[in-house]
Amino acid sequence: MNTQPKADERAEDPVALCILDMVAAGKSYSPQEVAQAFYRDHFKPGMPSDGWRRYLTAVRQQAINLARRGLIEITRKGEVVDPEKFKGVIRLRRPTAGE
């Protein structure tokens, strides 16, 4: 099964695109790592070094949206969780074939 989204399925939101690009390589990432990477890509001189924090909520919201659509999985302690009911520390990854 091909889990790569088609061009027309990819979200227009730049945060969602960042998540999809990061997990495409097969690794998992925390929302913090995604927010930091997104901020690094959009950083301009004079912006605060901890400005990535303002993107954490957007990363979590987009992760839920992408998980609902089956484009990523949200995991906690290595187990896939329901995007509607999770709590605590999570990681994001592309969907695995065996689950």
Q: Residue 11: its pLDDT value, please?
A: 46
Residue 61 located in a structural domain: yes
Residue 2 located in a structural domain: no
Mean pLDDT in residue range 71-92: 95
Within 13 A of 49's CA, how many CA atoms are on the CB side?
0
- Residue 52, domain CATH: 1.10.10.10
Residue 45 located in a structural domain: yes
Number of domains in the chain: 1
Residue 42 located in a structural domain: yes
What global pTM score does this model have? 0.83
Residue 51 located in a structural domain: yes
Residue 80 located in a structural domain: yes
Position 9 pLDDT exceeds 80: no
CA distance 71 to 19: 10
* Domain extent at residue 44: 14-93
Residue 73 located in a structural domain: yes
CA distance 45 to 24: 29
CA angle 16, 18, 20 (to 5 degrees): 70
pLDDT in tens, 41-61: 998 899 999 999 999 999 999
Residue 1 located in a structural domain: no
